[in-house]
Amino acid sequence: MLAYTIRRILMLIPVLIGMSIVTFAIIHFIPGNPARVILGDQATATAIANLEAQLGLDQPPYIQYFHYVFDLLKGDLGTSLRTNTPIAAEIWPRLAATIELTVFAMIFAIVVGVNAGIISAWKQNSIFDYTAMIIALIGVSMPIFWLGLMQQWIFAQELGWLPAFGRGNPRDPVETTTHLYVIDTIINGRFDQLWTSIKHLVLPGIALGTIPMAIIARMTRSSMLEILRSDYIRTIEAKGSRTLSVIYRHGFKNAVIPVLTVAGLQTGSLLGGAILTETIFSWPGVGRYVYEAIGTRDYPVIQSGILVIAFMFVIINLIVDLLYSYIDPRIKY
Amino acid sequence: MESITPTKKQRTSGPEKQDPNIDKTEAVSPWKEAYWQLRKNKLAIIGIIIITFFILVAIFAPLLTSYSPTEVGAGERLTSPNADHWFGTDDLGRDTFTRIVFGARISLIVGFFAVSGALVFGTFLGILAGYFGKWVDMFISRIFDIMLAFPSILLAIAIVAILGPSLENALIAIAIINIPIFGRLVRSKVISIREEEYIMAAKAQGMKSGRILFHHVLPNSVAPIIVQATLSFGTAILEAAALGFLGLGASAPTPEWGKMLSDSRQFIQSAPWTVLFPGFSIMLVVLGFNMIGDGLRDALDPKMKT
């Protein structure tokens, strides 16, 4: 197990190097003169020269790359062109916002998806099964930005049940320590704010969680169906109990591996989907940070934002891989 | 549609029963068997109907409407759906129905070329990696790993950020991000086929690598590639719409569905139809491809059944 963990972490090194090359390319491989592209056609020669010096574009590419990697290792993510502040300082509160949203979306996806999948398998070919699977099929095909817009329209604007934008009441800001509002409000003992924060999480969280929920439901169903046909479940049935609780206790434990794989993979696509969801719901996370940077051609922010999200994705995949062998002792590496 | 809709009798028959029209003494090709399987799958048939419908709409777009998709002031601004404007008009008075109809062309074309590009390059790299193994495999597989280390839409954003925002560059980006998906699939298929005895026999007879690849390895990888291509078609359309929505794809006044959504989202309360119809079209097309893809998978590769 330890050997595998070490090997798995070592395998990350080429991936991380490759990732840094891709994000490096975002500024440095812009065709033509990157500084001119970033500043636009009206830029003066001095402005272009200044920006070239700031971004290190006046040096040969391999030197630029080494500078880039050394800066990253020091925790320096560059400086935003728009606000002139270090990106590392700007990105943390946003990263926390994205993490909070992603976790909420994933909890929604797993709780609803797994249960819908189990019940569908248990009541195979019932009305519930058909309905759940049709919803899942539609969920997989749904553009999340459209789902988000529809939810906003129906639940926030027409029905007025839930807030449509942001993370909380701007006139009553949360006192932040971790920047995870759900945790901060509990630390501060402000349960009214906690309730507001949770209400703000619902719509973007469900929008973001719908696709993974659908995929998890389908995966759980198919992997449960296989388990339900196995001998030991038949034995339990022969003994006279085929209740839902038995299915949960004995069946799901063995169906969990493929479900976990899918859940892990989906967390990654969730991070990608966060860009769209955060844009729609004005959620102040990394995704929206990148989106705004695209609009203002703030390339260092685009670069670092993408790097940070991709890095999170890699770490999540690592954790999922390591969890396998913990959950299923039969898996040996 | 009658010809492909299964009759009641066939629908209820089990998989072991064969079509009565076929002579049972004849050896059944796997493709024929897959075709019967597919015919029995109601969802796949619905998917085929949806996609055929959209293809026809895209082809005959100019015949379906009397307006032009970019014609400003074809009607009054933000009029609700009526007899003249079936899906209403947008904030510039453009006919939404016309824009949706022409948008079908864009989505299908982008999907087709993005998937074709990914399929060709992915298959090529996958075969190289799987057949030659060793450092070739190492090198190509690591590149795939790195590409898959990014959430796909994020990699697409990175590529468009480098190339500059446009519909063409969005298409290129979507093709690139889908290459490793085909690459890995083909690679694993090639590796498993490489060890088969008939490949050994071909080698023993002195067949050259290239011929073995094209005569034996490739034909045996076709089924999963077709399944993946169908599913990827839907994903590619979603990704193109997402890039359009983020302002990284089609530019105004192109009637691209994702772009239409982002342009009219501010009018959602006063004119919900401007948001409703483009989004619904995206969903329907993607749903169609997913239904066909699922059906094909069940028919062609029973082991992959979900």
Q: What is the ipTM of this complex?
A: 0.84
Do the domain assignments include residue B272?
Answer: yes
Maximum mean pLDDT: which of A21-25, A234-238, A253-257, B208-212: A21-25
In this predicted structure, what is the pLDDT of residue B305?
45
Q: Which residues in chain A are closer than 8 Å to B162, comparing Cβ atoms?
A: 25-26, 29-31
Please, which pLDDT band fits residue B55 given cuts at 50, 70 and 90? Answer: very high
Contact pairs from chain A to chain B, CB under 8 Å:
141
B153/A275 Cβ within 8 A: yes
Q: Is pLDDT of B129 > 60?
A: yes
In this predicted structure, what is the pLDDT of residue B5?
42
CB neighbourhood size of B180 (10 A): 26
A309/B151 Cβ within 8 A: yes
In this predicted structure, what is the pLDDT of residue A331?
59
Do the domain assignments include residue B53?
Answer: yes
More confident call, A142 vs B10: A142
Out of B149, B248, B272, the one facing A19 most closely (by C-beta) is B149
> Can you tell me the mean pLDDT for B130-142?
87
Judged by a CB distance cut-off of 8 A, whether residue B283 touches chain A is: yes
B268/A152 Cβ within 8 A: yes
d(CA A177, CA A251): 42
Judged by a CB distance cut-off of 8 A, whether residue B164 touches chain A is: yes
- Homologous superfamily of A87-327 in CATH? MetI-like (1.10.3720.10)
A142/B234 Cβ within 8 A: no
Maximum mean pLDDT: which of A32-36, A260-264, B157-161, B176-180: B176-180
Between helix A299-327 and helix A252-280 the angle, nearest 10°, is 170
Work out the mean pLDDT of chain B and round it to a whole number.
82
Q: Which residues in chain A are closer than 8 Å to B46, comparing Cβ atoms?
A: none
More confident call, A265 vs A88: A88
Judged by a CB distance cut-off of 8 A, whether residue B144 touches chain A is: no
In this predicted structure, what is the pLDDT of residue B4?
43
Minimal Cα distance from A34: which residue of B?
B162
In this predicted structure, what is the pLDDT of residue B112?
95
List phi, psi (to 5°) of A86: -60, 135
Q: Is pLDDT of A196 > 60?
A: yes
In a 10 Å sphere around its CB, with 0-12 CB exposed, 13-18 middle and 19+ buried, how is residue B245 labelled? buried
Q: Is pLDDT of B16 > 60?
A: no
Residue for token digits 């925790």?
A75
Please, which pLDDT band fits residue B12 given cuts at 50, 70 and 90? Answer: very low
Judged by a CB distance cut-off of 8 A, whether residue B152 touches chain A is: yes
Do the domain assignments include residue B171?
Answer: yes
B245/A273 Cβ within 8 A: no
User: Residue B189: which domain range?
Assistant: 41-304
Residue A58 DSSP one-character state: T
Contact A300, A81 (CB under 8 A): yes
A290/B157 Cβ within 8 A: yes
Please, which pLDDT band fits residue B229 given cuts at 50, 70 and 90? Answer: very high
In this predicted structure, what is the pLDDT of residue A193?
80
Lowest mean pLDDT among A244-253, A285-294, B122-131: A244-253
Total structural domains within chain B: 1
For residue A202, which of A281, A301, A297, A294 has the smallest C-alpha distance?
A281
> Can you tell me the mean pLDDT for A313-332?
75
Q: What percent of chain A has pLDDT over 90?
A: 7
Out of B153, B163, B247, the one facing A272 most closely (by C-beta) is B153
Q: Is pLDDT of B70 > 90?
A: no
For residue B143, which of B159, B158, B126, B160 has the smallest C-alpha distance?
B126
Q: Which residues in chain B are closer than 8 Å to A137, comparing Cβ atoms?
A: 43, 287, 290-291, 294
Q: Is pLDDT of B33 > 90?
A: no
Out of A37, A271, A291, the one facing B151 most closely (by C-beta) is A271
Please, which pLDDT band fits residue B9 given cuts at 50, 70 and 90? Answer: very low
Out of A22, A145, A268, the one facing B245 most closely (by C-beta) is A145
Q: What percent of chain B has pLDDT over 70?
A: 89
A77-80 — which CB contacts under 8 Å span 24+ positions? Answer: A77/A300, A77/A304, A77/A307, A77/A308, A78/A300, A78/A301, A78/A303, A78/A304, A79/A54, A79/A300, A80/A293, A80/A298, A80/A300, A80/A301
Q: Which residues in chain A are closer than 8 Å to B266, comparing Cβ atoms?
A: none
More confident call, B269 vs A111: A111
Could you tell me the two tokens for A80? 């935003």
Please, which pLDDT band fits residue A231 given cuts at 50, 70 and 90? Answer: confident
In this predicted structure, what is the pLDDT of residue A2?
79
Q: What is the pLDDT of residues A35-75, one digit of tens each?
A: 877 787 777 888 888 888 887 777 888 888 888 889 888 88
In this predicted structure, what is the pLDDT of residue A134?
87
A150/B279 Cβ within 8 A: yes
Q: Which of B50, B157, B286, B305 should be substituted to probe chain A, the one whose Cβ sees the most A Cβ atoms within 10 Å?
A: B157
Out of B43, B154, B291, the one facing A272 most closely (by C-beta) is B154
Judged by a CB distance cut-off of 8 A, whether residue B83 touches chain A is: no
Output the CA–CA distances (angstroms, integers) from residue A46 to A36, A43, A52, A53, in the order listed. 11, 8, 10, 10
Q: Is pLDDT of B6 > 60?
A: no
Could you tell me the two tokens for B152? 């796909």
Judged by a CB distance cut-off of 8 A, whether residue B97 touches chain A is: no
> Can you tell me the mean pLDDT for A204-225?
89
Work out the mean pLDDT of chain A and round it to a whole number.
83
For residue B239, which of B118, B140, B142 has the smallest C-alpha distance?
B118
pTM over 0.90: no
Cis peptide preceding B253, ω within 30 of 0: yes
Out of A25, A272, A314, the one facing B152 most closely (by C-beta) is A272
> Can you tell me the mean pLDDT for A149-173?
83
In this predicted structure, what is the pLDDT of residue B19?
53
More confident call, B146 vs A265: B146
Q: Is pLDDT of B120 > 60?
A: yes
Out of B150, B245, B247, the one facing A310 most closely (by C-beta) is B150
Do the domain assignments include residue B29?
Answer: no
Q: Which of A27, A37, A146 should be substituted to probe chain B, the one whose Cβ sees the most B Cβ atoms within 10 Å?
A: A146
In this predicted structure, what is the pLDDT of residue B238?
92
B291/A143 Cβ within 8 A: no
A18/B43 Cβ within 8 A: no
d(CA B86, CA B74): 13
Min distance B148 CA to chain A CA atoms (Å): 9
Q: What is the pLDDT of residues B273-305, one digit of tens each?
A: 888 899 999 999 999 999 998 888 888 865 554
In this predicted structure, what is the pLDDT of residue B180?
94
The domain ranges of chain A are: 18-73, 87-327
Residue B104: CATH number of its domain: 1.10.3720.10
Judged by a CB distance cut-off of 8 A, whether residue B242 touches chain A is: yes
Q: Is pLDDT of B52 > 60?
A: yes
A146/B152 Cβ within 8 A: no
β partners of residue B95: B89
Q: Which residues in chain B are closer than 8 Å to A321, comparing Cβ atoms?
A: none
In this predicted structure, what is the pLDDT of residue B26?
60
